[in-house]
Amino acid sequence: MFRTIPSGPADPLRVVIAGAGGMGRAWLATVTDSPEVTLTGIADLDVALARSAADSAGLPGLPVGADALALARQTGAQALINVTVPEAHHPVTTAALFAGLPVLGEKPVAENVSRALSLAAAAEVTGELFMISQSRRWNPQVAILRAMIARLGPIGTLSTAFFRSERFGGFREQMAYPLLVDMAIHAFDSARFLLGAEPVTAYCHSYNPPWSWYAGDANATVVFEMEGGTRYVYNGSWCSPGAITSWNGAWRASGQKGTALWDGDHDPVLDADVDAAEPTDPPHSGIAGALQVFVRALRTGEPPSGEVHENLMSLAMVEAAVRSAASGQLERLDAVLERAHAQALRDETRADVRSTLAGWASIRDVLTSTGRVETR
């Protein structure tokens, strides 16, 4: 349950954006184009960057500032879109929720599962909606693939191949696990959504080919055991020249009754002796889809896909894969969640959030009962 905010064509939701970097600019364009919201301002620690983002979006009069919360108050915003760097997700979103603003946040929830649990508890304490925009959730082709997978009977293996050759420069080329930490969460989240099942264990080999231009591991192969026994296999590289895959990866679902394939860019293909499937919901698309879902949820009170509790297991998959890569051992997702919970209790500075965290017995139950990934 979260606080609802009525809005409609005559009374669009007033939002402020925090973060004017690459993705902040994409959000700026999306918000400006949407009739369901009105932009009241854009904040960035680098105010000149916020100003130039507003100017290049054709909004020279848009209020800007360094402090997103102060800007929200000054401009009468009703919600905040958090597009800051992952390390700022926790402080900015906590402050917004406690100021009575629901938050639509970019992935990941936070820089680690422990901080993400603190945010889920903060959403409970404040009664404000905190939803993650995991943009692939609203890809219409993912919706079609999901409907196809539902026709295949039990699924043995679901796999993603992600092979690209990106030269980003900057922080990604310095991270220890750039592929797992910066990119793989999109595929992991899609796997949960496609199967309607949660992860149980992770086993990961992460490595860096000799020709890699990354300091950390540009390649990783991860095997997840999902509830019900399906194995989800992610095989990827950031430094694989030639025959690159889609940004969405190339997918194969192999089930008892047949196979579904998706190249990540075109409509999925079903090779099975079953009826062709149509998705039941009108699909939304990309971050514009996330915005629509957020506004609709605030209007109706229906928990949206991507609500913080429901999204958190995707980040736990990343953390489990990284831990397995470092330890060489199979990692249980429950152990990752329990360790993160203990850390969250140690780090929490707010008594009310700490008390909520302390009341959680099984973290898996808390995450899956409040916002279980939709089953098919």
Q: Which of 12, 29, 32, 49 binds ligand NAD (CB under 6 A)?
A: 49
Nearer to ligand NAD (CB atom), residue 279 or residue 286: 286
Q: Which of 23, 99, 175, 233 binds ligand NAD (CB under 6 A)?
A: 23
Helix runs in 236-307, H state only: 286-300
Q: Which of 62, 69, 86, 270 binds ligand NAD (CB under 6 A)?
A: 86
Distance CA 129, CA 309 (A): 11
Residue position matching structure tokens 């009170």: 301
112 interacts with ligand NAD by CB under 6 A: no
Verify cis geometry, omega within 30 degrees of 0, for the bond prior to 303: no
Neighbouring CB atoms inside 10 A of 347's CB total: 14
Site for ligand NAD in 118-147 (CB under 6 A): 135
43 interacts with ligand NAD by CB under 6 A: yes
Which of 41, 31, 43, 46 lies closest to 63, judged by CA? 41
Q: CB under 6 A: which stretch of 22-30, 237-245, 270-278, 355-363 binds ligand NAD?
A: 22-30
Which of 220, 219, 216, 202 lies closest to 332, judged by CA? 202
Q: Minimum Å distance from CB 16 to ligand NAD?
A: 10
Q: CB under 6 A: which stretch of 21-29, 96-104, 138-146, 157-165 binds ligand NAD?
A: 21-29
**Residue number, nearest CB to ligand NAD:** 21
Nearer to ligand NAD (CB atom), residue 105 or residue 268: 105
Nearer to ligand NAD (CB atom), residue 84 or residue 230: 84
Q: CB under 6 A: which stretch of 79-87, 202-210, 264-272, 325-333 binds ligand NAD?
A: 79-87
Which of 249, 239, 113 lies closest to 190, judged by CA? 249
Q: Which of 7, 14, 17, 24 binds ligand NAD (CB under 6 A)?
A: 24
Residue position matching structure tokens 């190339």: 250
Distance CA 323, CA 177 (A): 11
Nearer to ligand NAD (CB atom), residue 160 or residue 356: 160
Distance CA 313, CA 332 (A): 12
Which of 153, 188, 175 lies closest to 238, judged by CA? 175
Q: Which of 4, 12, 21, 279 binds ligand NAD (CB under 6 A)?
A: 21
DSSP 179: I
92 interacts with ligand NAD by CB under 6 A: yes
- Under rule CB under 6 A, how many of the chain's residues touch ligand NAD? 22
DSSP 224: E
337 interacts with ligand NAD by CB under 6 A: no
Q: CB under 6 A: which stretch of 15-23, 69-77, 152-160, 330-338 binds ligand NAD?
A: 15-23
For 334, residues 6+ apart whose C-beta sits below 8 A from its C-beta are 363, 364
Q: CB under 6 A: which stretch of 17-25, 71-79, 139-147, 294-302 binds ligand NAD?
A: 17-25
77 interacts with ligand NAD by CB under 6 A: no
Q: Which of 33, 46, 55, 281 binds ligand NAD (CB under 6 A)?
A: 46
Nearer to ligand NAD (CB atom), residue 106 or residue 348: 106
Distance CA 132, CA 82 (A): 9
Strands 269-272 and 258-262: antiparallel
Considering only CA atoms, give the Rg of the chain: 20
Q: Minimum Å distance from CB 84 to ligand NAD?
A: 4
Residue position matching structure tokens 């909606």: 129
Computed from CA positions of residues 316, 321, 326, 329, in that sequence, does the dihedral angle turn out positive or negative?
Answer: positive
101 interacts with ligand NAD by CB under 6 A: no
Residue position matching structure tokens 């209007």: 299
Which residues in this chain contact ligand NAD in the complex, by CB under 6 A?
Answer: 18-24, 43-46, 49, 68, 83-86, 88, 92, 106-107, 135
